[in-house]
Structures are given as structure tokens and as C-alpha cells.
Amino acid sequence: MRPTEASGFWRKEKIMNASHTVVISCDNDEANQFAAWLNTNGHTATVGNSTGNYIDGTWTSADGDADEIMQALWSAYCDAA
């Protein structure tokens, strides 16, 4: 069966193959390591000054798509560790 746009697999691949600007909350214990991993995997990541996460300037707590991207990136980081 071929993956479709609606499938989780296709969406995760699309997210991982795009370049995102990521700001990671400062209260994440692994913020620096996660940012370094993102930067080596084609994204632009920094650790922020607040407890919010942002994807391409959008706060993940207020936007489902931004949150989905952050969750996919975090999952890929955890899988790589």
C-alpha cells in the first residue's frame, strides 16, 4: 500500500524533509542537545527565553500543525538517541 498525504507516515516524512525554524522552550532539560541535533539535520534551531516552543514563528500550544511538526521532530530526535 502506497502512503497517502493523509497517512501519518507520509506526513512525518514531509515534516522531516522540510527545513523548519525551531525555538525550543528553555525549560526542556535536553534543549541544547535537541537544538544541536536539529541543526545537524537541516533545521535552524535555538533555545528560547520562554517556556514556549515555536515552529516557523508559530507557537505550538496554539496551532495544531505547529504542534504536530514539533512532536514529529522530537520523536525523530528520541528515535535517533
**Geometric angle at alpha carbon 63, from 58 and 67, rounded to 5°:** 85
**Geometric angle at alpha carbon 54, from 52 and 57, rounded to 5°:** 130
Of residues 67 and 5, more confidently modeled: 67
pLDDT of residue 77: 95
Cα–Cα distance, 2 to 35 (Å, whole number) = 33
Cα–Cα distance, 23 to 62 (Å, whole number) = 15
Record the pTM. 0.83
> Which three cell numbers mark 16?
522531516
pLDDT single digits (tens) 16-75: 788 999 999 999 999 999 999 999 999 999 999 999 999 999 999 999 999 999 999 999
